[in-house]
Amino acid sequence: MDPKRVPVPTGTLAPDGTTNAYLLGREQALLVDPAARTDDLDRAVTDCAVEHVLVTHAHPDHVGAVAHYADACDATVWARAGREDRFERATGISPDRTFREGTPIGPATVMETPGHAPDHVALVAGDAVLTGDLVVSEGSVVVGADEGDIRAYLTSLRRLYARNPARLYPGHGPVIDHPRATVERLIRHRLDREAKVLAAVRGGATELDGVLDSAYDKDLSGVRDLARSTVAAHLQKLWVEGKVAWDGERAEPRHPFARGDEP
Ligand SMILES: [Zn+2]
């Protein structure tokens, strides 16, 4: 059975200002990302026997009605093992149980997909995957400093590509019928951006704003803070990989074999 998608308004930065809540299964149903209480979601929930409530990650635009529906449905509340405090801070309630990679919950199985957020997971149900903010059909998701991790994000995308599901059900926007094309597009987007960031540093940009201006050739008004945190996350990745020196404020080019541990 296909997951039921119920967009709810959340004031998120996503283009239409909504987050997708999902219901999965009819019996022992799973409610994912109940981001706000709405009449539509109330109706969808009463059609199903919701036994489990969880979020793909505890960002503010995914958690707004977790406490409400957990109580209304008398459902088991789940959180990522080791991230219970974060979950509780975001939702106002403590989880009943915790999950990890491979944990079965109702009709789905957990797949850990960190990157956009450290606690991020996807839910696999047959040939469908509920992806949260791992993918989006158009544009890209934010993977920015401090908590975004581009290395982890790319690994999560590659794992999703390898799994080759038939359809993706993202946290924002429409269902994705061509998962591999979308995942490839998102990977290419990150690597293109990374190449621009590296070229900016090699071209002499040292301050974050200078790297930002060289790496983006579009008008950033309104999204400059997000773009800056994205560039910082790329510099962090390049630093981990030994390609630039980066102390959180200044970047400098570094020869890829400058670590001294190569032959
Ligand atoms: Zn998010």
198: domain CATH number is 1.10.10
Q: Examine the fold and report which residue of 122, 146, 177 is the final residue of a domain before the chain moves on.
A: 177
Q: Across 50-202, where does the E strand assignment appear?
A: 50-54, 76-80, 97-99, 104-105, 108-112, 121-125, 128-132, 167-170
33 shares its domain with 162: yes
The residues placing their C-beta within 5 Å of ligand 1, an ion, are 59, 133
Q: What is the pLDDT of residues 71-109, one digit of tens each?
A: 999 999 999 999 999 999 999 999 999 999 999 999 999
User: pLDDT by residue (tens digit) across 9-48?
Assistant: 998 777 789 999 999 998 889 999 999 999 999 999 998 8
50-54, 152-156, 216-220: least confidently modelled range? 216-220
Domain check: are 10 and 89 in the same one?
Answer: yes
Note whether 146 and 193 are same-domain residues: no
Whether residue 196 sits in one domain with residue 156: no
Distance 203 CA to ligand 1 centre (A): 33
Last-in-domain residue among 110, 143, 177: 177
In a domain, 261, yes or no: no
**Longest CA pairwise span in the chain (Å):** 65
Ligand 1 centroid to residue 57 C-alpha, Å: 7
What spacing in Å lies between the alpha carbon of 202 and ligand 1's midpoint? Answer: 32
Residue 82: other Cβ atoms inside 10 A? 11
Does residue 77 lie in a domain region?
yes
Instruction: Give the residue from 136, 151, 177 where a domain finishes.
Output: 177
Could you tell me if 114 and 160 lie in one domain? yes
If asked whether residues 90 and 200 sit together in one domain, one would say no
Domain count, the chain: 2
96 and 69 within one domain: yes
Q: Are residues 51 and 167 in the same domain?
A: yes
Kindly report the CATH number assigned to the domain that includes residue 15: 3.60.15.10
Residue 259 lies in a domain: no
Q: What is the CA radius of gyration of the chain?
A: 20
State the distance from the centre of ligand 1 to the C-alpha of 48, rounded, in angstroms. 26
pTM of this structure: 0.93
**Structural domain of 37:** 4-177
